[in-house]
Amino acid sequence: MSLQATINEEIKNAMRAKDAIALEALRAVKSAILLALTDGGAKEELSSDEEIKLLQRLVKQRKDSADIYTKQGRADLAEPELAQVAVIEKFLPEQMSEEQVEQVVQSLIAANGFSGMANMGALMGLATKELAGKADGKLISGVVKRLLS
């Protein structure tokens, strides 16, 4: 079943359960999918890579919003954003732990002979391509910086 069909089914379930937070998050995902389909021409469906990127972008937007609200002392606004993150993350593949990311980055360093911060850009390119959809960009960046310094 495609992501779009799954989201439509989950919207129905959220409406039946009267879950306003889940409904809002799912409608945002549906809207983003429809925008992506019409944006890139008349596509019938998004590829799984495009779906993952779209979901990751939505999660990042909500996490950033929650951070801003928290810094401003508005926990009442941050909580619904984080609740929506939890709903959207159900549709993402399981994320790798920091240790798993570190193992992948170390193998890339060994395979390519990288050393020092001068190679950070090249290593980040390889690592993000290798870990696409499996790990957050901030986590990858932190591990790369730590291992190259």
Segments in the chain below pLDDT 50: none
CB 33 within 8 A of CB 69: no
Q: Which two tokens stand for residue 19?
A: 């879950």
pLDDT value of residue 20: 94
